[in-house]
Structure 1
Amino acid sequence: MSKPMTMVAAGALVLSLAACDVRRAGEGEGDPPVEEPDPTAEPSATPSATESSPAASILRDDSAIDVPLVEEPTEPVDLTIPFASGSDISPAAERLLEQLLREDALAEDWPVILAGHTDSGGNDQANLRSSRARAEAVAAWLVERGVADSRIRVIAFGEQNPIAPNALPDGTPNESGRRANRRVEVRIAPPPADDDDRAGFDQGA
């Protein structure tokens, strides 16, 4: 081997040894070596992210919250029962009364006020008797179907409170208006503080 080649080989050997020293010096610096998990070791009792999170103690399941149900108050009932003539309950009037039996207000312990009305035909006393007979016919119908008689109050108004004109402008009878005035008004509502006027009706004659 020639002398120049021997010197080149010696220089390469020196550089290789220096690189080894550098690698050994760097082994104690930087990130520590990662330990490989032992497959035979039992899992540690590390809390889950949900358990260790501070927000987990604040958040809650809305579906588990009991929302109280608010009951709707029972509404009063106002119903007009028509009477074509006399005090007989017509099939149309009976259908209205059957609807009344299904009202929630009737299931309450509220007074049932029956106000009888007539048109202006006849004298005052006859109209009072006729209006009372109509209201009492409705009362008897309700009692027969289970409504307590003690809850029912009958008021006779006669011709005092028309809801339509009894006569036309020329003075002739207004038949449609008179027919509308022959009626019984039913009201079922809580009694007000003043028991003398429980249904909001005037006592009349």
Structure 2
Amino acid sequence: MLQAIQLQFAYNPQATFSYPDIHCSQETPLLITGKSGTGKTTLLHLLGCLLRPSGGRLIIDGTDTGLLPSGKLDRFRGKHIGIIYQSAHFMSALSVLDNVLLPRFFTRATPDTDKAKQLAARLQIDHLLHKLPAQLSKGEQQRVSIARALINNPQLLLADEPTSSLDDDNTDRVIQLLQEQAALSRAMLIVVSHDARLKQHFSNSVFLEG
């Protein structure tokens, strides 16, 4: 269970955000929507422990993240949270397989090549593991991003605008894929997007007011 209670964040006195309470479980994936400028990406970074809130509490599976010192928070994020960014960030000189395994390296975990290959097979990119990211299509890169986000068996999977440049058919496929992979990995799924088409895929949603 994720609980975000009265989260606030301030970049400066003129740019502050106050968020509604948020609850998410494995059984009920969450969609967070809102117009540009409502702080969606900031909220994703707060939920992903990339930013610390200036007020409120974030509790992930019983851990009050605000009580963790910086070093422990970094380790907690690496072990328990997977993030799929809007733009893929790959190490261009590394193969797809090594890019999928990178989170294991950053958390000083033993490389799990078998797990990476299993994820790749589930996502139908196992034939691409030897290639470089630049040799992949946008859709293939997206699947690599999903595999990388899942490699550490996260409790929480966050996706930032995963359908922003997709047509209707591919939008449906990507959301179904995210929900399927989160369910298989027993991870909570939170999708942050301005894309109104996604509402039909989620029974649990939060709209950020301007």
Report the TM range for the smaller structure's normalisation: under 0.3
The structure that has the greater radius of gyration is 1
- Length-normalised TM-score, structure 2: 0.23
Instruction: Identify the structure with bigger relative contact order (alpha carbons < 8 Å, sequence gap 6+).
Output: 2
Which structure shows the higher strand fraction? 2
